[in-house]
Chains A and B, each alone.
Chain A
């Protein structure tokens, strides 16, 4: 079997192309620029479109235009750039336009630094733009998943007419690992609602204004009915040795790999530790965490932030079990030793004696 050693960022762009995306609008920013560079190299040779926009605000609005026209379209940026895109993201949701947004997270707040971080959980999962909405948020932890989840993001975005986000970090974007690429998508979904500059679509309107409060309320109700359907079927996660786990580790993206390494070490010392890795941050695997709270005696969340996803874990566990937290931030990354120590500390006493 032929495989390739591929960088996460490259795997992601390739996944997008395999998913039928031929259109990229973006602005350079470390550590996501490589995605734009790959797009600039690949898309025009396929007859697609690459535009380096004047700013992030424009990039997301170009995405809005291409999505209005029914294209599978993407943009990629990194935390400060994503902040600038929030206006357009809210409009995309308001107009129910599918689009894929990549955030290769870096240290913040402010200009911060370019080291890997997970401080954008709130702005992507909880909404960083105005109004009531949700984004579908996928969190890869390997180059293989950078490809697979990019493809999935396009599929989900189109299926639900909502923007989907791939939320990753500098390490997952920069690391190389073996990737097996699936065949390219050969057929794209019909979009009867799009404006295609044809007689059939000349009556279509892409719009996010609803001046009448009743009308807007109804629109938001419909959006959230859609979100309820997504929550019911689209949550994805990976579990590692949770069957007998006294302590369940929760981490996403790059951190989950560090947690897995730590898990291997403490298991060899006899601690019954498992891990749940959310693959979708929204919808969040809350139901599964609730179930795990029946058997596990505690949880430990690790993030490259001061604690953002931990809030969702606590909401899911709902006070039934202690939820400990270990965070590093500003671009710092915990060592496996450090995580082992955090696990030792969080490990429930009753579990130790059992």
Chain B
């Protein structure tokens, strides 16, 4: 509606193109819709509201799959054509990227209530600040009149040639009722495009739903009972009556939810590059200062270039033990890899990780034949002892493993790790006792080197003294 020279002129809204330049062929001033179709009416109501709210340029209109697949021929704003049923998901992506945008998700009954049911439900439940116009005409128009989730009992369609049988195909799905049970949506109303009273009620609902988004109130949906004369195989004036006589009783009109007034506006901020924030955030990550050239000088030949397997039960800090050892080596400029067993295997039951330390880049981080095995509990020893290479080192937690290892061709080091940790008052530092004992035994790295590494990589300052003591007791437990 516009005012021109003092006159009121009700005409073609600016938010609809006046020449449909994207529409192929001739007739670029008329739509592709059939005579008497509700889509054109709803398009005009939406466009008029866009004009009046002054939101055309910031509106992004999502065209679905269905008869309104070519919505972008008509709406004079940003347009995104989307996959069948996915408009609420696409709208989520658009709106969160552009919080100042007005996102219109225009969907039919197959799109919204069949293939896209989960998408509309979850977008509504997240309270995405978008406006959904849901055209319910109880049939699949574009594909030629097949059954829709909203098709009425007994209604003949090309896939219910004897009429819809409830026992076979379920009941007409009432989306407004369904979605209004959710907390997040602010406004849900069902309207009908029939007579003057109902069309003007639809006009008000369209404006209200868009206004709610302009005001940052959240998710709104207007379900529109709409005639499909061609799909229903009847004259337009008959189709309009059929909406009244058949659709409206099955899908009662009315406001199903309206909490617009009581909801506070919530407008997200747009994502930003925030380079300083990135630098700051990552500056806090634990790093080690690499020093010197990696050397095995002074370390016995058999301990060099170790392939280490560390195993225990979940909660013993096996993975942490491995990563600390890897960090100690990394600080000394060695090449290191750390590879855990992951997934359900790592939960509850046994946990293990592989650590490789080398002067050269590590090819394979997998340790199938370890030169070092640290076993923190019995099952771990049982499982991995056979794989240890002859001449390797086996460090085991003698507190929890009463049966000593049987291998005679490996070096065995018993460490009462859990007992020592208990003496320190914290069972869970048994892993650090193990690490200290292993390093003390092999001379691979010094206690001071472990402490510096812990200082550089561990965040919990409060635990530092306990950790230091555990490592120290480990070093002290071996000759």
Direct contact of A and B (CB under 8 A): yes
Query: Among B96-104, B182-190, B236-244, which stretch is in contact with chain A?
Result: B96-104
Beta-carbon contacts of A45-65 to B below 8 Å, as 1s and 0s?
111110101110111011111
A197 touches B100 (CB 8 A): yes
Within A182-221, the residues touching B (CB, 8 Å) are 183-186, 188, 195-199, 201-202, 204-209, 211-212
Report if A202-B343 is in contact (Cβ < 8 Å); known contacts: A65-B89, A264-B363: no
A2-B287, A47-B269, A205-B22 as given contacts; A196 in contact with B86, CB under 8 Å? no
Q: Is B69 an interface residue (CB 8 A)?
A: yes
Q: Are A46 and B278 in contact (CB under 8 A)?
A: yes
> Which residues on the B side are within 8 Å of A212 (C-beta)?
24
- Given A184-B279, A205-B22, A66 and B93 touching (CB < 8 A)? yes
CA distance A184 to B272 in the complex (A): 13
B195 contacts partner chain A, Cβ-Cβ < 8 Å: no
Cβ-based interface call for A354 (8 A): no
Please report which residues of chain B, range 259-276, place their CB below 8 angstroms from some CB of chain A when the two chains form the complex. 269, 271-275
The number of chain B residues touching the other chain, given as a range, is 35 or more
B290 at the interface (CB under 8 A from A): yes
Q: Determine the distance from Cα of A115 to Cα of B339 in the docked complex, in whole angstroms.
A: 13
B96 near A49 (CB under 8 angstroms)? yes
Interface string of B296-321 (1 = CB under 8 A from A): 00000000000000000000000000
CB distance from B224 to the nearest CB of A (A): 23
Q: Is the CB of A176 within 8 A of B326?
A: yes
CA distance A66 to B102 in the complex (A): 14
Say whether B81 contacts A87, CB under 8 Å: no
Interface residue ranges of B75-134 to A (CB < 8 Å)? 76-83, 86, 89-98, 100-102, 118-119, 121-122, 126
Taken together as a complex, chains A and B put the C-alpha atoms of A66 and B78 apart, in Å, by: 14
Residue of B76, B78, B96, B269 near A197 (CB, 8 A) is B78
A contact residues, range: 35 or more
Residues A174 and B340 in contact, CB atoms below 8 Å apart: yes
Nearest chain A CB to B393's CB is how many angstroms away?
21
Given contacts A87-B83, A207-B79, A333-B366, contact A4 B286 (CB under 8 A): yes
Q: What would 20 A/B residue contacts be, using CB atoms closer than 8 Å?
A: A14-B282, A23-B96, A25-B92, A45-B277, A46-B274, A54-B118, A57-B89, A61-B119, A68-B80, A69-B94, A71-B271, A177-B338, A177-B362, A184-B279, A186-B273, A195-B78, A198-B57, A205-B79, A206-B79, A211-B24
Residues of B within 8 A of A (CB): 22, 24, 56-60, 69, 72, 76-83, 86, 89-98, 100-102, 118-119, 121-122, 126, 269, 271-275, 277-279, 281-282, 285-290, 323, 326-327, 330, 335-340, 342-344, 362-366, 368, 457
**A residues whose Cβ falls under 8 Å from a Cβ of B:** 1-5, 14, 17-18, 20, 22-23, 25, 30-31, 42, 45-49, 51, 53-55, 57-59, 61-71, 73, 87-88, 91, 95, 114-115, 170-171, 174-178, 181, 183-186, 188, 195-199, 201-202, 204-209, 211-212, 257-258, 260-261, 263-264, 333, 335-336
